[in-house]
Structure 1
Amino acid sequence: MATYHYWTFNKKVPGPFVRARVGDTIQVELSNLADSSERHSVDFHAVTGPGGGAVATDAAPEETKGFSFKALKPGLYVYHCAVPLAAHHIANGMYGLILVEPEEGLPPVDREFYVMQGEVYTSQTYGSKGKLTESLEKLMAEAPEYYVFNGAANALTGSNALKARLGETIRIYFGVGGPNKTSSFHVIGEIFDKAYQLASLTTEPLADVQTITVPPGGAAVVDMSLDVPGECVLVDHALSRAARGLVGKLVVDGENQPALFKAASAKTEESEHNTHSSH
């Protein structure tokens, strides 16, 4: 087993999912705990104002800072710590998403999921055991040891897999904390019915999309209807990253749908021989 000391918003990686609507006024308060070793702040990409709020929230240990802002434009936006070196703070887990819905809201779905991709730069090689430590050298070289969904290698698998039922519609709010790598987000075994490219909620979504490109500090929203049961796999289609922890599962429960998908029976060498002999 391996552990890593993250810096976080509210002890979570990613930080809390913040939800608002256009026209809302949002109050932000950041308290930097007394045992913190660093200054911290928060830059909301949804903010129209200096530093996205980073200047107003730049807090030393034991300080509390805050600000308020009006949500002017709908979208799914990243937030992150912006204290220099910002990439250092982000790589240590200080990122999350804020959804600003249009005034009329988004079309309803049966289930929603919150997924973010990040990188972890450790001195130790991938798969090492024990307490892992950060490597600024690897961070500056943009050479992560781990790629992660929701803060840990293979985090969205097993008991933490995304779960849904046959016939449901689901929505994934997907973002890339980074700090450095672009994602080619793909769900193996599914097709996105709708993809809100770059998380623009006022632009018509693309239909029937296989893979979406999401840059660091960017996001996207995808909707899917679940027509066949089984396990779907969440990946970045830069697939070497799957071997460094970037894998998740979507488990769809329900009755088989042979009219839509049916696995062929395995053929043995003997059955092949008998088939040819009967000709």
Structure 2
Amino acid sequence: MLTRRAALMGAAGIAALPVLARAAKAEEIMDTSMAAPADLSSLKRIKRKLVRPPMVHDHEQEAPGEPRIVEFEMQIVEKEIEVDDGVYLQAMTFNGSVPGPMMVVHEGDYVELTLYNSPENMLQHNIDFHSATGALGGGSLTLVNPGEKTTLRFKATRPGTFVYHCAPGGPMIPWHVVSGMSGCIMVLPRGGLTDHKGDPVRYDRVFYIGENDFYIPKDENGEYKRFEDVGESYPDTLEVMNGLVPSHVVFNGKVGSLTGDNALHAAQGEKVLFVHSQANRDTRPHLIGGHGDLVWERGKFNNAPERDLETWFIAGGSAGAALYEFLQPGVYAYVNHNLIEAVNLGATAHVVVEGDWNNDLMEQVQAPVEYDAAYEGRTALP
């Protein structure tokens, strides 16, 4: 049954933002007040401070002791971001970043999130955890107006990597998602990761790659439009969205966000866990010059990982994980191997690896020189 609060929230949204009056439709808000309370008084509580992607907050790879209640805080921020040089998006974000920050807990832990909708915002927001059970992943228990906060707790029952995103109802869902409102949670097995044989696996560092497809409108002159606020951007953005052709496909919110001075860094011999999420479209991560030693393509750690993959597949609305030990120094390109999207639309990251070159793995036997085409090279042809 639709509660009185849901009706009031819908009315408030329409009053605050007339342009969205025809589109806004909050989903049913669950009334769970009659359910028996869960007694978790014996469990230890810990607080985790979320950090900006591609980094991930401190965490243990193996769970220490009994399940815990892991507390997080996250603020919803509507703001303009620069997607490319001179190209701007009226974004909706979790904690001010695109993607939202990655959370890490262990199977059996309880996630307790306090979600703040900043009073400066214009829109209703909520959060749907693909890792949670019931109530639209928490979406129908977390719908908040600007200036409101809510706290949701759920038990992490399934290990793996999972998407979370905003899902306020109806046509607002895809708009909020492609405006930046998605992130990832990793639920580690209590004993940590294991390989295809069931043996323990550890990583030296985690990089979180959040891939986003953006749909930024152009004017009659072919120039990208810039809008005063998120509400003004909706009608034109909706038209581009419904064409299903993104203007940009990027990692971590911007073309070049993980290249050049912003490149990721690792050392030769380090094992890096790449966690990759895409809340809306399918994607095909590939590490140029490397491989997926162990790949949880669908991101679920109860399943044995694939081995030695060149390219792996992340279905839209999911997150996957790949572990690679860097064997050579140099610059590696981590891309969406739809190369049009990688090179022309922005889905590229770089990993700079320090170390000593190993000629046994690869050697330039001869540097490029000119040759006599009249006599050389003809034997190469069939």
TM-score normalised over the length of structure 2: 0.68
Amino acid of the structure 2 residue aligned with 1:197 = E
1:261 corresponds to: 362
Return the offset for 1:269.
3.1
1:104 corresponds to: 191
Quick one: which of 174, 190, 194 aligns to 1:87? 174
1:119 corresponds to: 213
* CA distance in 1 between partners of 2:301 and 2:223 (Å): 41
CA contact (8 A) 1:29 1:57 kept: no
Label 1:75 to 1:262 Cα distance change in 2 as closer, same or farther (>3 A).
Answer: same
Report the 3-state secondary structure (helix = DSSP H, G, I; strand = E; otherwise coil) of the residue aligned with 2:177: helix
* CA distance in 1 between partners of 2:327 and 2:223 (Å): 39
1:157 corresponds to: 259
1:68 corresponds to: 153
Say whether 1:32 aligns with 2:117. yes
1:58 corresponds to: 143
CA contact (8 A) 1:228 1:261 kept: no
Amino acid of the structure 2 residue aligned with 1:25 = Y
Structure 2 stretches lacking a partner, 5+ long? 1-84, 194-200, 228-232, 378-382
Q: How large is the RMSD of aligned CA atoms in angstroms?
A: 2.0
Return the offset for 1:257.
1.2
Q: For each residue in 1:36-62, what CA deviation from the matched residue of structure 2 results, as whole angstroms up to 9, or x when unmatched?
A: 111000000111121111011101111
Return the offset for 1:165.
1.1
Amino acid of the structure 2 residue aligned with 1:102 = P
Return the offset for 1:27.
0.9
Q: Highest Rg: 1 or 2?
A: 2
Q: For each residue in 1:43-91, what CA deviation from the matched residue of structure 2 results, as whole angstroms up to 9, or x when unmatched?
A: 0011112111101110111111222111111111100000132110011
Structure 1 stretches lacking a partner, 5+ long? none
CA contact (8 A) 1:233 1:248 kept: yes
Return the offset for 1:229.
1.3
* CA distance in 1 between partners of 2:136 and 2:300 (Å): 21
Say whether 1:15 aligns with 2:115. no
Q: For each residue in 1:210-259, what CA deviation from the matched residue of structure 2 results, as whole angstroms up to 9, or x when unmatched?
A: 11111111111101111111111111111111211111111111111111
Higher strand share: 1
How many residues are treated as equivalent by the alignment?
272
* CA distance in 2 between partners of 1:54 and 1:83 (Å): 7
Label 1:63 to 1:259 Cα distance change in 2 as closer, same or farther (>3 A).
Answer: same
1:250 corresponds to: 351
Amino acid of the structure 1 residue aligned with 2:346 = G
Return the offset for 1:205.
0.5
Say whether 1:211 aligns with 2:311. yes
Quick one: which of 165, 169, 172 aligns to 2:271? 169
TM-score normalised over the length of structure 1: 0.91
2:3 corresponds to: none
